[in-house]
Every structure is written in structure tokens, then in C-alpha cells.
């Protein structure tokens, strides 16, 4: 099985295939009427581009603009502060995923609070929350749920299981955000410089490629959904260049081995059963975006940490560190190495902003793969 997986990866990382795609892109790019600025929405694509040096294989007329596709990167400080406030409550276990515990809030972070004695646990799987709640019936177990459409079904499944088991001590602080409204907000910004998008792969497995059709129709901007391997990304770029040369603007799926137009309808149904769209949500660096995030349905209000523990929470907006330009980076208006504190005062071990904390953040990618610039 391991050998089979290695052979599969070799196909999508095959040097000769990547070089052939590079040559084809160079050839087609000669017909571009103007330089092409492509935003890769997902941080996973940013890391592939940097790690494999794909920028160096492309003509100088093609520029990457790094988008907001990292749920950790877009979480505003006031939401981090809410997680900290919940964790500080007595008899509480706070659960969350991965990099979230290291993201700085206004004065602390979850990892710092854990060092002070708060019971804060990163999860490998959201389903582990069920076991923790069962084993700690006298504790308030709060899941600080984050992610784009990719991880939302896991939270929805967890809510349904918790409800079925009547786990009255398990609560949810929902921070799931949606890709299309964020893309729309970026395109509506008069300073945007984007000609096309590489659409996120795993998000699209859940939602289907259909969610990008209104974006293409409204802005006339091609969207090509690509996988995360270097061959995937290069094929996606070639499809964008061919669309531009043919004066087309369409949704195309390079990642056809996993993405359909309709997506995972069972996962979508679970999300619709448990959650509803918020009127507005504040994105770190992007500001308030209408209908861009989810919250628990009223029928699951007894599980909603935002209402059950509302007296502990503040929603006052909190600005980023004055030297951090993460907001401009998320909008595609700056690159990480434009920041005066990049790699000095701000590193993965001592981050000032969320783009450096997350393993999918663009600043993190530039720091790790800087030689690929």
C-alpha cells in the first residue's frame, strides 16, 4: 500500500511532467495581452508553489497573489480572546484544532493559557470531543470549531452525535467561514489586482465547483479548481492561461479525481441541518463580510457556547499589531517579505500575526521556503 501511494505521488511530482507543463505555459503565455495575476485562494497551494519552486518555472508575466485561504489566518483577535475567556472558566476543557492554540489574541494565546494551567487540548479529530465529554461529565467541554467548508461537515457530524447521545456538557463555539463571500469581498475592493483564481481543492470536494459560478458570472474572472500537488497546480495555471488567451471566463476543474460540480451532498445536508449563515462575520485583515460564516441553528441553541456563556464574551473588534501587514497580505496587496518585521520580530516561534502562525499561512511559507523566491 505504501509503495502504491509513493507511485501515485510520483505521478503528480514527476519532474519531466512539471517541466513539460512549464514549457507549455511559457509558450501559451506569449499570447497573453497583459501580465496575469493569479490568486491562489488556499494556503495549501501557496505552500506547494513555494516548496517546489513553481514560480521559477513560470514566465515573469505570471504573478501569484496569496489569498485568505487559511482559517487560522483569518480568525480575528476578539474570537481568540473569546476562546481564552471560555478556557479560563472554572471546570472547563477547551478543545480546538492544530495551529489555533498558537494564534495570538490581544494579550495572550491559548498555548500561553495552557501553560498557566487552563485545560486546553488540541484535537487530531473532532470526534475525540465525544470521548472527552463522556469521560468528564462534571466539566464543561467546549469545542472551538474553525475551518472553511472543508472541516465544517466534521463539526456538523459531531453536533448530531452529541445530540443523539444527549451529552449535555458538550458545547460549540462555531467559527466556520465560507470561501465565496471572502472572494467577493476581495474582488469588490477597488484596489484588487486579480485576473484569475486557483480554487481550493478540499473545500470544493465538499461544496462542489458550482459555488464559484456566481463569482465568474459577476466578475468575469476564471476559477480553476486545482489539486495540491505540483503537477496539479501547473495544470491549473495552464488552464487559466488558455482561458485568458481564448477570452473565456469559466469554472474549470483540474482536480476532477475528487471534485464534482455538485460536491458531497450528504455533507452539505448535515451542515444545513445543524448550522445557518450569520448576518456578518469579521475576518482578520478583511473586516466585516456579510453572510460569510456559520452559526448553530436555533434548535441546537442549548449547545451554543456563544449564548450559554455570553456573559463571559466580548465582541469588541481588536486591531492587529501595528507592524503586522497580514491584512494587506490576505487581500493580495502585499507579499510577506514586504513586512518590516518578517523573519526578525515575527517568526513561527514568536509570531506577531496569524499568517506566520498557521502551517498554511503565506508568511509561514515564505519563512520556510524563502530560498524559492
User: What CA–CA distance (Å, rounded) separates 293 from 314?
Assistant: 18
Contact between residue 87 and residue 140 where contact means Cβ atoms under 8 Å apart: no
Contact between residue 46 and residue 40 where contact means Cβ atoms under 8 Å apart: yes
The whole-number pLDDT of residue 3 equals: 52
C-alpha distance from residue 213 to each of 56, 84, 277, 313, 373 (Å): 31, 39, 19, 38, 33
The whole-number pLDDT of residue 218 equals: 97
User: Domain 77-177+293-312: which CATH class?
Assistant: alpha beta
User: What CA–CA distance (Å, rounded) separates 95 from 297?
Assistant: 21
Query: Residue 113 — φ and ψ, nearest 5°?
Result: -65, -35
Q: If DSSP states are collapsed to H, E and C, what string results for the chain?
A: CHHHHHHHHHHHCCHHHHHHHHHHHHHHHCCCCCCEEEEEEEHHHHHHHHHCCHHHHCCCCEEEEEEEECCCCCCCHHHHHHHHHHHCCCCEEEEEEHHHHHCCCCCCCHHHHHHCCCEEEEECCCCHHHHHHHHCCCCEEEEEEEECCCCHHHHHHHHHHHHHHCCCCEEEEEEEECHHHHHHHHHHCCCCCCCEEEECHHHHHHHCHHHHHHHHHHHCCCEEECCCCHHHHHHHHHHHHHHHHCCCCCEEECCCCCCCCCCCHHHHHHHHHHEEECCEEEECCCEEEECCEEEECHHHHHHEHHHHCHHHCCCCCCCCCCCCCHHHHHCCCCCHHHCCCECCCEECCECCCHHHHCCCCHHHHHHHCHHHC
User: What CA–CA distance (Å, rounded) separates 208 from 203?
Assistant: 8
pTM beyond 0.95: the answer is no
Let me know how long the chain is. 373
C-alpha distance from residue 331 to each of 39, 43, 216, 222 (Å): 10, 13, 18, 18
User: What CA–CA distance (Å, rounded) separates 211 from 134?
Assistant: 38
Contact between residue 164 and residue 156 where contact means Cβ atoms under 8 Å apart: no
The whole-number pLDDT of residue 372 equals: 47
In the predicted model, what is the mean pLDDT of the chain? 93
User: What CA–CA distance (Å, rounded) separates 184 from 289?
Assistant: 9
**Which of 334, 288, 253 is CA-nearest to residue 182?**
288
User: What CA–CA distance (Å, rounded) separates 61 from 230?
Assistant: 19
The whole-number pLDDT of residue 7 equals: 61
Tens of pLDDT along the chain (373 residues) come to 445 556 666 789 999 999 999 999 999 999 999 999 999 999 899 999 999 999 999 999 999 998 887 888 889 999 999 999 999 999 999 999 877 898 889 999 999 999 999 999 999 888 999 999 999 999 999 999 999 999 999 999 999 999 999 999 999 999 999 999 999 999 999 988 899 999 999 999 999 999 999 999 999 999 999 999 999 999 999 999 999 999 999 999 999 999 999 999 999 999 999 999 999 999 988 899 999 999 999 999 999 999 999 999 998 988 888 888 888 887 778 889 899 999 999 998 888 887 887 778 899 899 988 744 4
Place of cell 521559477: 56
Ordered by start, the domain boundaries in the chain are 77-177+293-312, 326-372
The whole-number pLDDT of residue 331 equals: 77
The whole-number pLDDT of residue 5 equals: 59
Amino acid at each position: 500500500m505504501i509503495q502504491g501511494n509513493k507511485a501515485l505521488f510520483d505521478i503528480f511530482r514527476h519532474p519531466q511532467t512539471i517541466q513539460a507543463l512549464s514549457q507549455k505555459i511559457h509558450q501559451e503565455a506569449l499570447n497573453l495581452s497583459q501580465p496575469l495575476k493569479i490568486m491562489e485562494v488556499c494556503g495549501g497551494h501557496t505552500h506547494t508553489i513555494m516548496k517546489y519552486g513553481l514560480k521559477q518555472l513560470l514566465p515573469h508575466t505570471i504573478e501569484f497573489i496569496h489569498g485568505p485561504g487559511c482559517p487560522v489566518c483569518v480568525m480575528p483577535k476578539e474570537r481568540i480572546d473569546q476562546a481564552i475567556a471560555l478556557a479560563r472558566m472554572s471546570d472547563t476543557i477547551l478543545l480546538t484544532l492544530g495551529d489555533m492554540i498558537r494564534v495570538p489574541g490581544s494579550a495572550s494565546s491559548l498555548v500561553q493559557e495552557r501553560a498557566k494551567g487552563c485545560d486546553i487540548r488540541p484535537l487530531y479529530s473532532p470526534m475525540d470531543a465525544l470521548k472527552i465529554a463522556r469521560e468528564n461529565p462534571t466539566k464543561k467541554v467546549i469545542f472551538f470549531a474553525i475551518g472553511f467548508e472543508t472541516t465544517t461537515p466534521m463539526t456538523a457530524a459531531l453536533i448530531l452525535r452529541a445530540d443523539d447521545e444527549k451529552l449535555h456538557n458538550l458545547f460549540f463555539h462555531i467559527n466556520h467561514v465560507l470561501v465565496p463571500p471572502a472572494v467577493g469581498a476581495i474582488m469588490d475592493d477597488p484596489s484588487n489586482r486579480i485576473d484569475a483564481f486557483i480554487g481550493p481543492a478540499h473545500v470544493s470536494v465538499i461544496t462542489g465547483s458550482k459555488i464559484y459560478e456566481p463569482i465568474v458570472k459577476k466578475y468575469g474572472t476564471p476559477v480553476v479548481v486545482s489539486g495540491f500537488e505540483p503537477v496539479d497546480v501547473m495544470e491549473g495555471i495552464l488552464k487559466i492561461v488558455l482561458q485568458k488567451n481564448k477570452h473565456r471566463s469559466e469554472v474549470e476543474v483540474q482536480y476532477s479525481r475528487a471534485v464534482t460540480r455538485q460536491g458531497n451532498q450528504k455533507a452539505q445536508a448535515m451542515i444545513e441541518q445543524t448550522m445557518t449563515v450569520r448576518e456578518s462575520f469579521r475576518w482578520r485583515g478583511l473586516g466585516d463580510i456579510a453572510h460569510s460564516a456559520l452559526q448553530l441553528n436555533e434548535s441546537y441553541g442549548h449547545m451554543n457556547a456563544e449564548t450559554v456563556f455570553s456573559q463571559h464574551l466580548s465582541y469588541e473588534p481588536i486591531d492587529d499589531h501595528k507592524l503586522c501587514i497580514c491584512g494587506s497580505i490576505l487581500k493580495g496587496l502585499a507579499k510577506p517579505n514586504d513586512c518590516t518585521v518578517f523573519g526578525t520580530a515575527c517568526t513561527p516561534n514568536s509570531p506577531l500575526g496569524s499568517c506566520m502562525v498557521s502551517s498554511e499561512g503565506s508568511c509561514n511559507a515564505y519563512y520556510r521556503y524563502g530560498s524559492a523566491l
